[in-house]
Amino acid sequence: MNRIAKTFDQAAAEGRACFVAYLCAGDPDFETSLAACRTVLEAGADILELGVPYSDPLADGMTNQLAAQRALEAGATHQRGLQLVRAIRQFSDAPIVFYTYYNLVFSRGSEAYAREAKEAGVDGLLTLDLPPEEAAEHLAACEAVGMQTVCIVAPTTTSQRLPLITRSATGFIYYVSREGVTGEQSSMAGDLGARTTAIRAHTDLPIVVGFGVSKSEHVADIAKVADGVVVGSALVNCIAANLGRPETIKRALSERMQDLLADNSLAK
């Protein structure tokens, strides 16, 4: 069984949802990024979702766009991203998912990209802008090396298209809780239960919910209906607010994780 499946199974056995922490790889520099990854994992993240820095992150709001820009300006590259994963593997066996865009995959070729990521220690690929209708080559390349695939379902996804999307995933399904881009929100959509139920009719894979999650109440509400909760901008903002102060970044991330996981918020 792969690391992703094991992690969701363990969480389910403990009667809770998984916490998926998103950070941009290399933000604001390699060493600070590595320390940030270690901090969120030690603070309770079950799965680490690493955004691969990209110049045109279409699905990301301003917080994550600026994180990608900082990483690129600090010299982030494909190889540096893989180096970061290898460094994380020195202290953690938690699942790592690359949150990436197809231009980055296509430029290397799906076979090379999946193989290199797998060898470095990546467990899954979430390729934001690759529709399943055009993903056959990419999915085959991932299957060949045992790389799990993560697919996105949006509030606008039709019931007719759901089976096509869910068939393309092998790791988990990522339900985007609202239309638009990433970013902290004050409230969550009120139909998450109905949406996740509709997705479960087409797959046995775990379902995680993200986009806009910024409070422990959000985490608790999602945990009741999903198998995992994704928090990104709320963590990335801890870095953005403390640039140049690595120790303060670690403290801010740790405190934010404590806030998000307060009151047993992941409990089913």
Q: Which tens digits make up the pLDDT trace of 187-236?
A: 555 688 999 999 999 999 999 999 888 899 999 999 999 999 999 999 99
Sign of CA dihedral 156, 162, 165, 166: positive
List the structure tokens of 228: 């995992």
226-242 confidence digits (pLDDT tens):
999 999 999 999 999 99
Q: Which residues are catalytic?
A: 49, 60
In which band, very low, low, confident or very high, does the pLDDT at 183 lie, cut at 50, 70 and 90? Answer: very low
- Whether 65 has a pLDDT exceeding 50, the answer reads yes
| Cβ(184)–Cβ(63) below 8 Å | yes
Where does residue 174 rank: exposed (0-12), middle (13-18), buried (19+ CB within 10 A)?
Answer: buried
| Cβ(80)–Cβ(30) below 8 Å | yes
112-121 mean pLDDT: 98
pTM of the model: 0.95
Per CATH, the homologous superfamily of domain 3-264 is Aldolase class I (3.20.20.70)
| Cβ(22)–Cβ(231) below 8 Å | yes
